[in-house]
Structure formats: structure tokens, C-alpha cells
């Protein structure tokens, strides 16, 4: 089978789930490497430099949250999707705050997993040829995928970056949560989650000047010019 989309590392200790993920991702054109515990998964991501990683939170050895936390401390921003059987809101929010780009609750449809991986890889790789966005002291180079605040570099995850670009391309325009989910995540329905709100909070914290991203009550968000 031809690998067209790059390598995905799947860190999952449940063999049946890992094998299904490998089958569907391979059929979609990805190369797939499986790791069965957190320590080997961390080493494999460092070594293989995949286009994305799918990481279970509840792993033998170091857990998925610690795995991603170590990557981010090393300035490794490999796009990551967390998966977990635990349904606690704190797990989801903590995972996203530590630098995950997306979140899937088990049992997840393998087709949904593939769709999420495709969307995440697309977001991390697509750039506008020469687009540089400036709003106040914020500057985003869409081609180089760099962010600066008053000349200071700021590290964002792939999803945080694309969310910021979406808002900064139209300063003053109010985007609803459903619009942002469709434009940034490429998914029409995330009902019952706080994904957009959590990512907005993370962007505000990293960028400073939190009032520049306004919350429009019961509607959505806008960047103030």
C-alpha cells in the first residue's frame, strides 16, 4: 500500500484498538507505527518525527498526558490527538492545556479517527504563501507558521495557530463556535464539548493581552483590531 500522507505514531496498549487504527489509517494513505506504552511511544515520536500522533491517556509506564507534556517541554510540537476511555472533563481540559490538538473519547469510530487525523495534518501543513497578519502588537507569519508578540516569539500548537489565524484574518468579525469548529477543526458537530473555549483560553494565555480576543456572550469570539 502506498504511503502518501506521512507517518502517524499510534500509542495504544489495547491491541485490538491499535490494530483497527493502523488498518484504517493505512487505508487512508498514512504510514503507521504502533507503540504499546508511554515510554516507547515518547522515544518513537522523538526518533521518527511523525506528521501526527494518536496517544491514549491511560498508558503503561508514563501516561499520555506526561508523554505530551515532555514533548512540549522539549519544544516538540508534533500534532497530537488524545484518546481515552475516561469521560472526566478534567482529563480533556488538562490534556488540551498541556498542548494536545484534539481529543477523542473511546470507543471512537475508526472513520472519525481518520477524519480527525487528516484534518489535523492538513492544518499543520497548509500555509498561505506570503501572508503576514498583524493586529496590534500581534504578528503571525502564515507561511512560516510563526507568531510574535512585540517581537517575542510565541509557541502555539497547530490547532491554536490555525484558530488564531482564522480570527486575525478578519479583525472585528464575530465567529460563532460552530463556525470556528467547521473552519479550524473541519468538523461540523462537537456538541457537548468545550473544545473551542479551551483553545481560546490557551491562546489568550500564551499571547498575553487577553482582552484582544473578545468573548461575545452566547455568540462566539472576535479579535479586536
pLDDT (0 to 100) of residue 56:
92
For residue 65, what is the domain's CATH number?
Answer: 3.40.50.2300
pLDDT (0 to 100) of residue 100:
80
pLDDT (0 to 100) of residue 2:
44
CA dist., res. 115 & res. 133, Å (int): 29
Domain membership of residue 154 (yes or no) is yes
Q: Please indicate, yes or no, whether residues 97 and 181 belong to a single structural domain of this protein.
A: no
* Residue segments in the chain with a per-residue pLDDT below the cut of 50: 1-3, 127-129, 192
Q: Any idea what DSSP says for residue 185?
A: I
Q: Which one of 69, 101, 125 terminates a domain?
A: 125
pLDDT (0 to 100) of residue 27:
93
Q: Please indicate, yes or no, whether residues 12 and 121 belong to a single structural domain of this protein.
A: yes
Per the DSSP assignment, residues forming a β-bridge with 147 are 140
pLDDT (0 to 100) of residue 178:
81
Which helix (H) or strand (E) segment is 166 a member of?
helix 158-168
Q: Which one of 67, 91, 125 terminates a domain?
A: 125
pLDDT (0 to 100) of residue 1:
44
Domain membership of residue 1 (yes or no) is no
- Strands (DSSP E) contained in 2-151 are 7-11, 31-35, 52-56, 80-84, 102-105, 132-135, 138-141, 146-149
pLDDT (0 to 100) of residue 22:
94
For residue 157, what is the domain's CATH number?
Answer: 1.10.10.10
Q: Which domain holds residue 49?
A: 7-125
Provide the number of structural domains found in the chain.
2
Domain membership of residue 175 (yes or no) is yes
CA dist., res. 145 & res. 24, Å (int): 29
CA dist., res. 103 & res. 96, Å (int): 8
Domain membership of residue 2 (yes or no) is no
Q: Which one of 125, 159, 178 terminates a domain?
A: 125
Q: Please indicate, yes or no, whether residues 119 and 146 belong to a single structural domain of this protein.
A: no
CA dist., res. 214 & res. 201, Å (int): 11
pLDDT tens sequence across 98-131:
778 888 888 788 999 999 899 888 877 654 445 7
Checking phi first, is residue 78 left (phi over 0); if not, alpha (psi -120 to 50) or beta? beta
Q: Please indicate, yes or no, whether residues 17 and 116 belong to a single structural domain of this protein.
A: yes
Q: Which three cell numbers stand for residue 58?
A: 491511560
Q: Please indicate, yes or no, whether residues 40 and 148 belong to a single structural domain of this protein.
A: no
pLDDT tens sequence across 205-217:
999 887 899 998 8
CA dist., res. 191 & res. 65, Å (int): 24
Q: Please indicate, yes or no, whether residues 118 and 11 belong to a single structural domain of this protein.
A: yes
Confirm if 98 and 72 have CB atoms less than 8 A apart.
Answer: yes
Amino acid at each position: 500500500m502506498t504511503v502518501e500522507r506521512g507517518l502517524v505514531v499510534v500509542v495504544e496498549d489495547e491491541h485490538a484498538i491499535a490494530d483497527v487504527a493502523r488498518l484504517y489509517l493505512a487505508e487512508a494513505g498514512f504510514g503507521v507505527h504502533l507503540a504499546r506504552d508511554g515510554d516507547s511511544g515518547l522515544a518513537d515520536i522523538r526518533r521518527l518525527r511523525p506528521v501526527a500522533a494518536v496517544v491514549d491517556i491511560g498508558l503503561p509506564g508514563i501516561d499520555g498526558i506526561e508523554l505530551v507534556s515532555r514533548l512540549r517541554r522539549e519544544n516538540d510540537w508534533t500534532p497530537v490527538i488524545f484518546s481515552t476511555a475516561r469521560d472526566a472533563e478534567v482529563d480533556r481540559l488538562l490534556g488540551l492545556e498541556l498542548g494536545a490538538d484534539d481529543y477523542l473519547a473511546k470507543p471512537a469510530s475508526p472513520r472519525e479517527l481518520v477524519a480527525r487525523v487528516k484534518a489535523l495534518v492538513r492544518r499543520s501543513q497548509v500555509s498561505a504563501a506570503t501572508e503576514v497578519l498583524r493586529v496590534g502588537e500581534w504578528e503571525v507569519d502564515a507561511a512560516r507558521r510563526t507568531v510574535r508578540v512585540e517581537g517575542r516569539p510565541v509557541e502555539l500548537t497547530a490547532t491554536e495557530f490555525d484558530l488564531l489565524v482564522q480570527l486575525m484574518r478578519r479583525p472585528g468579525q464575530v465567529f460563532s463556535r460552530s463556525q470556528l469548529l467547521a473552519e479550524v477543526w473541519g468538523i461540523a458537530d462537537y456538541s457537548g464539548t468545550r473544545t473551542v473555549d479551551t483553545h481560546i483560553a490557551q491562546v489568550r494565555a500564551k499571547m498575553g493581552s487577553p482582552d484582544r480576543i473578545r468573548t461575545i456572550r452566547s455568540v462566539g469570539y472576535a479579535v479586536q483590531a
